[in-house]
């Protein structure tokens, strides 16, 4: 099949006027964060919008009547970060990153029928390969699961680069592992599929992370590459990528689609969830207003035009 690059240029993405939508728990104190939103649109659980997001190694739940005005409703009864929600056969699967005291990480999964009671954790991936262990701390993180040709493909980030002006690490590489059963075992592809590239200005330092969706018989990826700008400051921006097989990715020629800008996203624009609802695409994402002492909040951007073909991450009539 021929590859279709959608005409979703940066000028077609409009920030909601209410942005930022969500402050971190405890308020906007220096280095406080709320990030990696995962959205359940209306019609899946009930008539409300629901969100999972994380702060200080805790995963929080939020609820909204309109996708704009959000309230915190609880915290999950286990430690975790960087959540990803997947749904299949009326069962929910929460993939997340678990930190130890030295900030080394593994990728875990728990399952639930109702998003209230959760199974024990399954540890799916640990850093094992040399490139996964590059940098300190040693990390595999940022899970994203999608089912391709009957197999569960778990995209993940690994290895780290250090952001000196921020005082923390970000992912260097992106790869994936596959399994016949959602619980594993997951067999690694074995090498990075996205890595830093000095010739790409918005991914010249680290690969960051990716969220993958099915669209028109191919795959859409939203990637927040890590880069250093001309002034030497650490940056991140959301870019669009396309692929037929999910292994070989092509950058859209107009990237990035959502970049840092003045205000609540002065410094870095990070991870996300894209939601297809009523023929519209909305991207929820977290952004940072400064570097070392910056605060991260969640906001959203919408695509101006209607989209006839759904953007799908798990099978559901609501999508």
CA 44 centroid distance within chain:
20
Q: Is 129 in a helix, a strand, or coil?
A: coil
- Domain boundaries, given as residue ranges, for the chain: 10-303
| Contact call for residues 209 and 224 (beta carbons, < 8 A) | yes
d(CA 55, CA 166): 17
Concatenate the DSSP letters of all residues of 144-185 into one string: EEEEETTEEEEEEEEEEEEETTTTEEEEEEEEEEEESSTT-P
| Contact call for residues 65 and 50 (beta carbons, < 8 A) | no
pLDDT in tens, 75-118: 999 999 999 999 999 999 999 999 999 999 999 999 999 999 99
Question: Per-residue confidence at 319, pLDDT binned at 50, 70, 90?
Answer: very low
Question: Which top CATH class is 10-303?
Answer: mainly beta
Per the confidence metrics, is the pTM higher than 0.75?
A: yes
Q: What is the per-residue pLDDT for 316?
A: 53
CA 300 centroid distance within chain:
13
pLDDT in tens, 241-292: 999 999 999 999 999 999 999 999 999 999 999 999 999 999 999 999 999 9
Concatenate the DSSP letters of all residues of 56-102 into one string: TTEEEEEEESSSSS-EEEEEEEEE-EEEEEEEETTEEEEEEEEE-TT
Rounded to an integer, the average pLDDT of 110-136 is 98
pLDDT tops 50 at residue 318: no
Going by the DSSP 8-state scheme, the letter that residue 200 receives in this structure is S
Question: Per-residue confidence at 2, pLDDT binned at 50, 70, 90?
Answer: confident
d(CA 200, CA 231): 16
d(CA 142, CA 236): 15
pLDDT in tens, 188-198: 999 999 999 99
pLDDT tops 60 at residue 317: no
Mean pLDDT of the chain: 97
């Amino acid at each position: 099949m021929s590859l279709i690059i959608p005409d979703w240029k940066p000028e077609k993405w409009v920030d909601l006027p209410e942005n930022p939508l969500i402050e971190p728990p405890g308020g906007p104190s220096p280095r406080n964060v709320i990030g990696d939103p995962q959205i359940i649109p209306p019609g899946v659980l009930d008539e409300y919008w629901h969100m999972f997001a994380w702060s200080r190694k805790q995963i929080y739940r939020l609820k909204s009547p309109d996708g704009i005005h959000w309230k915190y409703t609880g915290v999950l009864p286990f430690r975790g970060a960087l959540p990803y929600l997947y749904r299949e056969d009326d069962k929910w699967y929460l993939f997340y990153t678990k930190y130890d005291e030295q900030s080394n990480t593994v990728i875990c999964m728990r399952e639930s029928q109702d998003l209230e009671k959760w199974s024990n954790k399954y540890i799916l991936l640990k850093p094992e390969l040399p490139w996964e262990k590059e940098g300190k701390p040693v990390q595999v993180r940022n899970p994203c699961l999608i089912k391709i040709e009957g197999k569960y493909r778990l995209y993940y980030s690994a290895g780290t680069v250090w952001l000196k002006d921020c005082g923390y690490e970000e992912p260097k590489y992106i790869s994936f592992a596959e399994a016949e059963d959602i619980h594993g075992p997951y067999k690694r592809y074995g090498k990075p599929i996205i890595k830093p590239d000095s010739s790409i200005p918005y991914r010249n330092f680290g690969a960051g992370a990716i969220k993958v969706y099915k669209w028109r018989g191919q795959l859409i990826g939203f990637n927040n590459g890590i880069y250093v700008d001309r002034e030497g400051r650490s940056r991140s921006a959301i870019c669009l990528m396309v692929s037929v097989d999910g292994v070989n990715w092509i950058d859209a020629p107009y990237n990035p689609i959502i970049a840092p800008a003045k205000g609540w996203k002065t410094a870095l624009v990070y991870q996300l969830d894209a939601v297809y609802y009523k023929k519209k695409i909305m991207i929820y994402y977290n952004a940072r207003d400064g570097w070392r002492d910056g605060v991260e909040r969640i906001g959203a951007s919408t695509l101006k035009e209607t989209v006839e073909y759904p953007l799908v991450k798990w099978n559901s009539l609501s999508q």
